[in-house]
Amino acid sequence: MQNNRCEADSDISALMEGLWLSLKKSEFPVHSFLAERGGELLKETYQAPYGKNDLHRMFSITKSFCSLAIGFLLEEGRLSLDDRITDYFPEYCTGTTVHPWLREMTIRHMLSMETCHSSTTYKLDGKKNWVESFFTTPPTHRSGQIFLYDTSSSHTLAALVKKLTGKGILDYLRGTCLNQTDFSKESYIILDPFGSEMGGSGLMARSMDLLKLGRYCMDTIQKGKGKFADYLREAVSFQVPTIHSGQTLDEQQGYGYQFWRIRKGFSMYGMGGQYVLFYPEEDLIFVITADTQNIKGGNQKILDLVYETVEKISHGCAETEGIPVKRSPDTWEASYRIYQNPAGFSRLSLSFGHSEGKLVLSGKDGDFQFPFSFEEARISVLSKYEQRIAVQGIWAYDMTLYLPVQVVGEWVGSIHLILRLSEENVTVWMKKVEETYFQEFQGFLEGERTAPYSARRS
């Protein structure tokens, strides 16, 4: 990768100091801030009650550690990303009870958060073994269709690492990369109530641990050779769209394999403001730990401050690639039978041309029509509720259509629909953001085509 240096070192140091002062001025409970460029430490500072040697809960940064472990297992030939996860856990998967949507789930689907579950499975029944719950919870849709954050997926990947190596995530990684970075021996991963590592959220480590590992990852991505390096480059690249679910602008940039895409780069991300932020064009790495759990908009403010600083550094330099949008059909017309679902929808039809289209969801309460335009918001009235709506269609990715529905009137809010299309099937994810109404637009729908369809690409 190209390594542009557009500012003098003294200017970089001043910018890092300014960024830290801005973070302090925000009055967010930021616990640590570290920055380095090309292996050179630019800033390291801590705030009470945390110090340099304290272990910090890193929450979902743990997921990226699971991804690294999978990459090394891939290099060692112990697994393939297209292996079915049920093959590794026969104790939970008897042949007569495994749902086809679960059986079709691959390790790749789990890494990219495209599982067949609509929520973290072990939170549904706290008395059930957390790993077992991933295999016994009834699926809601086909795997490999739509991104939805699922911490039980990462938890199960950690159990897979233990099953294949006999070691926990950190113990296994110590032999592959962590010892090379002088990662602290005191670090550990919290266990769940049944003795398995919390692979989705349990990492306890020091901020400097993350900075050193971040440099190892950046160097591997930029200069590494071999199967693990190739895997890591793929893991931090755009794999699936997240525009429909991201809580911050950066979280809407896409997802790789347990790594988030962000503006100008990628990241390890943990709840409450735990970040390892990578900006490859500038060879910059930031580590931030904090507790924004009770601060609405706190994460976005932190990310904006960092991004504004990176913008100042990269002024005049080459831009990194944005969200990739693959070519999707210019025209489409198809109808689908919808499988049984709580909302009672039974049919879906979708048609569109170069500029406009219409989605119709039919069920026990009649038809819900969503006319849309690709060029600007199309205004209409949503039947049953008699509320004005405005919809502009967006191609989130190849064959993935996003319809954000603005609700205008007394019930101000929004409905979000994302459709993964194919010749034979459709998967729909729905979410309503409104206090009281539109309950039917929640969860997943699955359907199969019932009539001849037509589609054309230019």
**Helices and strands counted in the chain (H then E):** 10, 21
Same domain, 354 and 307: no
Q: How many domains does the chain have?
A: 2
- 123: Cβ–Cβ under 8 A, 6 or more apart, which residues? 152
387 and 249 co-located in one domain? no
Picking from 85, 79, 209, the residue whose alpha carbon sits closest to that of residue 139 is: 85
The DSSP bridge partners found for residue 390 are 379, 406
CA 307 – CA 314 distance, rounded (Å)? 10
Assess if residue 397 is contained within a domain.
yes
Q: Are residues 304 and 446 in the same domain?
A: no
At residue 136, the 3 state secondary structure works out as helix
Whether 179 and 281 map to the same domain: the answer is yes
Clarify whether residues 298 and 338 are in a common domain: no
Q: Of 313, 339, 366, which residue is a domain's last?
A: 313
Domain boundary among 313, 341, 364: 313
pTM beyond 0.85: the answer is yes
What's 204's domain CATH number? 3.40.710.10
Look up residue 403 and give its two tokens: 């319809």
Domain boundary among 250, 284, 313: 313
Distance CA(87)–CA(100), nearest Å, equals: 13
Digitized pLDDT (tens) for each residue of the chain, 458 residues in all: 444 454 456 689 999 999 999 999 888 899 999 999 999 999 999 999 999 999 999 999 999 999 999 999 999 999 999 999 999 999 999 767 799 999 999 999 999 999 999 999 999 988 899 999 999 999 999 999 999 999 999 999 999 999 999 999 999 999 999 999 999 999 999 999 999 999 999 999 999 999 999 999 999 999 999 999 999 999 999 999 999 987 889 999 999 999 999 999 999 999 999 999 999 999 999 999 999 998 888 899 999 999 999 999 987 454 556 677 666 888 999 999 999 999 999 999 999 999 999 999 999 889 999 999 999 999 999 998 999 999 999 999 999 999 999 999 889 999 999 999 998 999 999 999 999 999 999 999 999 999 777 777 66
Query: Looking at the structure, do residues 226 and 374 belong to the same domain, yes or no?
Result: no
Looking at the domain assignment, is residue 119 inside a domain?
A: yes
Do residues 259 and 189 share a domain?
yes
Cα separation, 301 vs 428, in Å, equals 32
Residue 49: cis peptide before it, omega within 30 degrees of 0 = yes
Domain assignment present for 403: yes
Gap between the Cα atoms of 395 and 115, Å rounded: 21
* 405 and 268 within one domain: no
Cα–Cα distance, 134 to 128 (Å, whole number): 10
CATH number, residue 440 = 2.40.128.20
Q: Is residue 197 part of a domain?
A: yes
**Residue 1 domain-assigned (yes or no):** no
Pairing of strands 56-57, 378-382: unpaired
Return the CA Rg of the chain: 23
Clarify whether residues 154 and 123 are in a common domain. yes
- Range of the structural domain that residue 180 is part of: 9-313
- Which tokens sit at 45? 């500072």
Residue 130 included in any domain: yes
